[in-house]
Amino acid sequence: MVNICVPILNKNLNKLYEEDIDNKYLLYLIIVREDRPEIPSWVYVTKEISETIDGNSIADKFKELQTGYEAYCKYSSHAEFNFRTLNAFTNKKTKINKQILLERLTKNTMSVFLGVYLSAILKKNKRNFKESWDLICVTGNLKWDRSNLLLVPVDGEKIKNKYEGEFETEAIKRGKDKNCLFLYVSDKKEEGIPYGKNQGIHENITVKHFYEGVNVIEVLRYLFKQGSSKNEDDYQLTSERDTVSLNEEVNSVDIKIQLATENAYKKSIHLYNEWKKSKNNLYDTPYDDDQYISMTIINAKEEKDEYEIENLLSRLKSKEYRHAVLFGEGGMGKTTSCMRLMDIFKSIGDKIPIKPFIYMPLSAYSSEETLQRYIINVCGILKIFDIKPQAIEVINYYYDLLINKMEMVLLLDGFNEMDSAHHKKFKEELDKLASATNIQILITSREDVTLGITSSFNKLKFKPIDKDLIDSLFTTKISTDLYPVLNNPMMLKIYKYDQDNEMSKQNKDEDYIKNPTSAGEILWNFIGHQIIRSKRIYENTGFGNILFRYLLPYIAYKVEIKEKENYIFKLADLDSYIYDLEDDFKQKQKNRNKPNEFISIQKTLGQFLDDKDRTTTLSDICEQKFSIIKKVDKHTYEFIHQHFRDVFAATHIKNQMALNDKTVFTERIFPFHLVQMLSDILQEHKDVKNEGRPPCCGII
């Protein structure tokens, strides 16, 4: 069995031992004994336990950990803990090699308590690790907040010194076939030590970082397999707030209000899972933000007070105002930030955290709704209390109960995706909602939404990715023109996907843009990769080219010109879009006003139209296979990101320009972001440099 170690700084030991070990972080094993039933609780056997830590004795600290352990593991426990060095050292007097016993814990050894807790889980619950570790080094503290065990960093700890102490030496000594884990708690990823897998001389070290305030369950999830012990319910929350089924007889209003919150939370978790799945499909590979996405937040006004998204809510608690608006341009990570918060603070299994996160995409905010009605629908108030939609006063009563009784964090994502005609009304309701003492609000947007709101919001924005990080991700030199584009996390992710993907080397398409220098060009090449993927799936039928170069562009353009409807489209719309596009092809063939490729396009599209359930087939392909679109509700869809909607809509305009069809420019005045995307994929910025031509061929 793998033993868990903690690094402890040694002093005044050189006088006792022949080795030079003073002022060095040695690894101490945590020895857990449970063979003494006369011990009623967790204890630490030591010569001196009189020192207090934060007003509590060492014994009190162990009782606190025991309380947290029993809250998760559902049964009482007793155990005895001891600490002794991993390696033996030579006593100067006796010349005997022995492990050194730690005689006392002090305020300087607070970082052992996470290791103590994990050792108890490993020993008493017989847990199995997800990976095969030969050595695990843990440094971090814990605190019990009467409902959860939360991770705590230790002030003044030298994490870099701990990593470079005996741990790194042991990892080198064990060789490339022995995997070693260094796990630490800090309010940021520490500089000077590596992060992730395959670190160290032998590439046998994994470094894992957890943020302050995260539930210890997240550490358990990372380390241990679920259900690998005899007790399948180990470390499940035993809060009295167990989920209540709608089928049960529920009379208490409070329980029903709680159930409404749980409904909203479960919907949020479902959206989180769907989001993660869509990212996996989109990139055709497991999606990992850590390497690419910079979640660093700064004060929008003064551009200081820098911290990472994981610390956002804890930082807001210390501020005068508890709400925040997080704004940034498209692709900076607004939705990803909401999802990362969901990932960090979600509870285990079906249990509901004390202060649940409710994710509400504002793209789903209907023009017929109010913010109040949107929250009511997400929570399922009408169904739970069996209320008719017309009973406005009754609905208002239960809504007031909900926001005043239940603690929750509302993640309102994508203010810019709403119909601008409803902004004023929405802000009025947001202002009122912000005054509820139990509610904390984080709203994301491309622009500042706080104008006209009297409640105070902290204004935050993303810090762009710095040049050094960008350079570290690529083996080839980056063009100077690319840095302003790649400091956007989404563009960086897609560009790296393009550069790393073997398909880019296989891409013989004349439309493939070598050496892209704009966002539109990077997105254009990414769409090219999807066409290559589709050839594998559909055996070179040509359908992928039609889908990504004609059909999706046509849909995106139609959605774009219906701006007042939140950029969404219904399943029923797809049928008319397919027929409209086929009719358009037929007309162009009749007029002989088209390239030869339209003959094969019409033929392949005609074959696809033979599918009687073509709309469902098309939506499944776009959502399940490629994740270019996503569901808003059962019958409504939207593009996965505005950037993709823009590049597809611009592609349709480009197609029409190639056919000398100018009617596309008479349907509406295009917004700047669409004009910019069109200019990018036409590579006009390169023409401007070379020929001095104005942008967009005079379109604007």
422 and 542 within one domain: no
Cα 320 to chain centroid, rounded = 27
Whether residue 395 has pLDDT greater than 60: yes
| Domains held by the chain: number | 3
Angle between helices 253-283 and 392-405 in degrees, nearest 10: 80
| Percentage with pLDDT > 70 across the chain | 77
Report d(CA 194, CA 323) in Å as an integer. 34
Quick one: tokens of 33? 């004994």
417, 437, 462 — which closes off a domain? 462
Q: pLDDT tens digit string along 70-102?
A: 766 655 677 888 899 999 999 988 889 989 988
Question: Is residue 23's pLDDT more than 70?
Answer: yes
Q: Is residue 242 part of a domain?
A: no
Six token digits for residue 583: 């009719």
CA 412 to chain centre: 15
Domain assignment present for residue 248? The answer is no
Give dist(CA 70, CA 75) in Å, integer: 6
d(CA 420, CA 447): 12
In-domain check, residue 238: no
CATH code: domain of residue 355: 3.40.50
Specify whether 165 is located in the same domain as 263: no
Of 206, 223, 240, which marks where a domain is finished?
Answer: 223
Residue 292, in any domain of the structure: yes
Q: Is residue 98 part of a domain?
A: yes
Out of 392-396, 471-475, 594-598, give the one with best mean pLDDT: 471-475
pLDDT in the model for residue 141: 92
β-pairing, 180-185 with 205-210?
A: parallel
Same domain, 456 and 482: no
pLDDT of residue 647: 94
The secondary structure of residue 102, as a DSSP letter, is P
Strands in 258-361 per DSSP E:
296-299, 307-308, 323-327, 357-361
Is 616 found in the same domain as 585? yes
Distance CA(324)–CA(409), nearest Å, equals 11
Cβ-count burial 627-644 (b if 16+ within 10 Å, e if not): bbbbbbeeebbbbbbbbb
Tell me: do 215 and 293 sit in the same domain.
no
Quote the CA–CA distance of 476 and 487 in Å, as a whole number.
17
| Domain range for 307 | 253-462
Mean pLDDT of the chain: 78
- 458 to each of 313, 319, 444, 450, how far by Cα in Å? 11, 9, 12, 9
* Of 25-39, 341-355, 432-446, the least confident: 341-355
* pLDDT tens digits, 641-684: 889 999 999 999 998 888 777 777 777 788 888 899 999 999 88
Q: What is the pLDDT of residue 231?
A: 38
**Whole-angstrom Cα distance, residue 615 to residue 626?**
16
Domain membership of residue 237 (yes or no) is no
Local confidence band at 425 (pLDDT 50, 70, 90 cut-offs): confident
- Helix ranges, 175-311 (H): 217-223, 253-283
Are residue 629 and residue 485 in the same domain, yes or no? yes
Residues 428 and 507 in one domain: no
Residues 319 and 444 in one domain: yes
Same domain for 668 and 534?
A: yes
Question: What is the reported pTM?
Answer: 0.63
Our measurement of the distance from residue 328's CA atom to the centroid of its chain's CA atoms, rounded to an integer in Å, reads: 17
Using N-to-C axis directions, what is the helix angle for 642-658 and 672-681, rounded to 10°? 60
More confident residue, 347 or 525: 525
311 within domain boundaries: yes
- Round to whole Å and give the CA distance between 475 and 337: 28
Question: What's the gap between Cα 226 and its chain centre?
Answer: 21
Same domain? For 400 and 473 the reply is: no
Give the separation between CA 341 and CA 310, rounded to whole angstroms. Answer: 6
Question: Does residue 262 carry a pLDDT above 90?
Answer: no
Instruction: Report DSSP letters for 383-395, one per residue.
Output: HHTT--TT-HHHH
Maximum distance among all alpha carbons in the chain?
103
Distance CA 355, CA 344 (A): 13
- The pLDDT value given to residue 700: 33
Residue 243 lies in a domain: no
The domain boundary, picked from 437, 462, 487, lies at 462
Q: Helix, strand, coil shares of the chain as percentages rounded to 5?
A: 45, 15, 40
Residues 209 and 62 in one domain: yes
- Whether residue 54 is found in the same domain as residue 167: yes
| Contact yes or no for 91/71 (Cβ under 8 A) | no
**pLDDT attached to residue 692:** 44
